[in-house]
Structure 1
Amino acid sequence: MLQTRQEGLFCPLGGFYIDPFRPVEKALITHGHADHARAGHGAVMATAQTLDIMAIRYGPDFTTSRQVAKGPCRLGEVTVSFHPAGHVLGSAQIAISHKDTGTTVITGDYSRSPNPACAPFEPVPCDILVTEATFALPVFRHPDPAQEIMRLLASVAAFPDRAHLIGAYALGKAQRVIMLLRQAGWDGPIYIHGALQKLCDYHISQGIALGDLRPATMQTGKKSDFAGQIVLAPPSAFAATWAQRFPDPVICFASGWMQVRARARQRGVELPLVISDHVDWPDLTRTITELNPDETWVTHGREDALIRWCELQGRIARPLRLLGYEEEPD
């Protein structure tokens, strides 16, 4: 039912691509991250929130035509449906069904950890599961994100004269960290870099209560304005002079990759926060076990270990080795 082409994953029976790397005539998009959602396609089908997010990121003319995914839809000889992936706001798995070949589910990026900033993952029975493998090594076992936030708040309390700067990607991670802080009892202001503003505003418009957000700009011209405060910014901001405006900042980074201490050191991260929007090894293998597909196709990361695990479990599996997803941001 699916083919791998230079443009990405293609469904010949439906005449569309899923998260293609290059502009194509018809694309189905799982979510709004830039490595999955690109501008320039002739037609795009996605959830209403993903279409909104693409318009925010690329402008209203990011595609010639757009279609909101609502319920099962017939495309060519197949029926497609979108189901929550638990990754970021608007993220979806795409199920493709055909009377002769059964149902194939493309997960896109997904998470089974509770995320207050988006709809939870929905298990979808299938004959073929196309799963990501971003953290597909047994060493990756993500801790409870609430405990990581408590570590952050303990550091804020221990260093009241310092600002805590948290690197968080603009779509999904920033809003999840904000929501986790609110759930942990932080009801004060949270300062955000300007690059996060539009997507935070969009989450608020979708009913995600982010609380008191303020621009991370000087109010009195003194660094002490931000003593004891929490500031969120895209990780790229920390390499610029922007970060120097804060008092003796504690550099933090919220990512599943922070489990790899060498990565934290390379980025100059003082307080790594292991908060991921992807499945870790236990949730990845649990998903395959629960869905029990006839075949598992693996992409987006560390394919070899998961292929080997499937073989040891007596499962049929194969790597897709698609270009463009060698390492997912998280």
Structure 2
Amino acid sequence: MIKPEALLRPTPAGLYCPPGDFYIDPTRPVDRAVVTHGHSDHARSGHGAVLATPETLAIMAERYGADFAGATEAAPYGQTVRRDDVEVTLVPAGHVLGSAQAVVRWKGLTMVVSGDYKRRRDPTCPPFEPVPCDVFITEATFGLPVFRHPPDSGEIARLLRSVAQFPERSHLVGAYALGKAQRVICLLREAGWEKPIFVHGALERLNKLYEDHGIDLGPLAPATVATKQDFAGAIVIGPPSALQDRWSRRFPDPVQAFASGWMQVRARARQRGTELPLVISDHADWDELTATVDELRPGELWITHGREEALARWSELHGIKARALALVGYDDDEEDG
């Protein structure tokens, strides 16, 4: 019986595959990397070669420049690529555009590296695809029973009710530039908001990239073209950092909102001065994490980062051997720094 560590093992640079000689989401430049998605704590520049979905490669090129790696190889969902004696297949993770789980097979052993993921529907990316495996490697960003995220449709409805209640004020929504901003825009469209949505300049290139990949965001406008009064009753979306600087002063008495799973923690909302916290997360909550592990019933569960202890304990109580990897270099926050 092959031990899982013979196929994948944690190292200071991230998960390493000795028989395939590659790393998955390495935290430092390496010769060969498999990248699960475009957030900066998983997708770094400077690797010799990168294998990822076409969308993730496009995101990396947009953020880091066309020469972000020595060589790139695009692997669409479901296509198997060989790295020496190891097979690698990328399947949807449901996190952001292009996000993937890395399914790694070797000598009859299957290990799945989920990257970051969620199980609920997202109009901007394909849903998470469960893959039977011997070892499932999961995040645990919201790996505590207290984290149970409400339906995102209800959070968007709260935002629209506030807009209707305060038509003289603008609503300024903090949302991370990759994934969250585009998801919030699409959810607003699905809820019936047809007016132009104003966006911070930091979102424009990624918004265009999403639209180039078939995600319809509807009418958007730069948040610099109108007078202060023109923003009354408007929805404006910008990166969280912009809500705290001079940029936010151009809007009339703005209602500050913030879309994040951490908005369930009232202290975090107060710390940010958030008037309208919106609990919208691109990560699995406690119920999604445990339901996924229970659905897959892997021989072993490895937990990369986040609230590892509670999920490991839950797994052990449900008859699944668990191990906390405590990998360094991955954000247990949602912010894409």
Q: TM-score, normalised by structure 2?
A: 0.96
| Alignment of 1:152 onto 2:180 | no
Decide which of 41, 51, 54 is 1:48's aligned counterpart. 54
1:246 aligned residue: 251
2:3 aligned residue: none
| Alignment of 1:195 onto 2:231 | no
| Alignment of 1:133 onto 2:133 | no
1:25 aligned residue: 31
Residues 134-169 of structure 1: CA deviation (Å, up to 9, x unaligned)? 000000000000000000000000000111000001
Decide which of 272, 275, 290 is 2:277's aligned counterpart. 272
2:91–2:129 CA contact under 8 A, matched in 1: yes
Decide which of 90, 95, 98 is 2:103's aligned counterpart. 95
Aligned-partner SS, 2:249 = helix
1:131–1:296 CA contact under 8 A, matched in 2: yes
1:79–1:98 CA contact under 8 A, matched in 2: yes
| Alignment of 1:105 onto 2:112 | yes
1:291 aligned residue: 296
* Offset at residue 315 of structure 1 (A): 1.2
Q: Percent identity?
A: 61
* Offset at residue 218 of structure 1 (A): 3.7
* Offset at residue 265 of structure 1 (A): 0.4
1:2 aligned residue: 8
2:105–2:111 CA contact under 8 A, matched in 1: yes
Distance 2:95 2:36 in 1: 10
**Structure 1 residues 34, 326: CA separation in 2 closer, same or farther (over 3 Å shift)?**
closer
1:129–1:293 CA contact under 8 A, matched in 2: yes
| Alignment of 1:119 onto 2:126 | yes
Decide which of 67, 75, 81 is 2:73's aligned counterpart. 67
Residues 197-219 of structure 1: CA deviation (Å, up to 9, x unaligned)? 00100111111110000000042
Consecutive aligned runs of 4 or more in structure 1 exceeding 2 Å deviation:
none
2:241 aligned residue: 236
* Offset at residue 326 of structure 1 (A): 4.7
Residues 77-123 of structure 1: CA deviation (Å, up to 9, x unaligned)? 211100000000000000000114x1000000001110001111111
* Offset at residue 223 of structure 1 (A): 1.3
2:86 aligned residue: 78
Distance 1:204 1:325 in 2: 28
Distance 1:300 1:32 in 2: 17
Distance 2:225 2:205 in 1: 20
Decide which of 176, 195, 201 is 1:169's aligned counterpart. 176
Letter in 1 for 2:282: D
Distance 1:176 1:81 in 2: 26
2:315 aligned residue: 310
Gaps of 5+ in 2: 1-6
Decide which of 19, 23, 26 is 1:13's aligned counterpart. 19
2:41–2:331 CA contact under 8 A, matched in 1: no
* Offset at residue 232 of structure 1 (A): 0.3
Aligned-partner SS, 2:158 = helix
Residues 21-62 of structure 1: CA deviation (Å, up to 9, x unaligned)? 000000000000001000000100000000000000000010
Q: TM-score, normalised by structure 1?
A: 0.98
1:255 aligned residue: 260
Kindly report the root-mean-square deviation, in angstroms, between the aligned alpha carbons of the 2 structures: 0.8
Distance 1:326 1:175 in 2: 21
1:196–1:233 CA contact under 8 A, matched in 2: yes
Aligned-partner SS, 2:36 = coil
Gaps of 5+ in 1: none
Letter in 2 for 1:134: T
Letter in 1 for 2:309: D
Distance 1:21 1:317 in 2: 23
| Alignment of 1:207 onto 2:214 | yes
1:149–1:181 CA contact under 8 A, matched in 2: yes
| Alignment of 1:301 onto 2:309 | no
Corresponding pairs, count: 327
1:218–1:225 CA contact under 8 A, matched in 2: no
2:137–2:303 CA contact under 8 A, matched in 1: yes
1:300–1:328 CA contact under 8 A, matched in 2: no
Letter in 2 for 1:167: G
Distance 1:260 1:328 in 2: 13
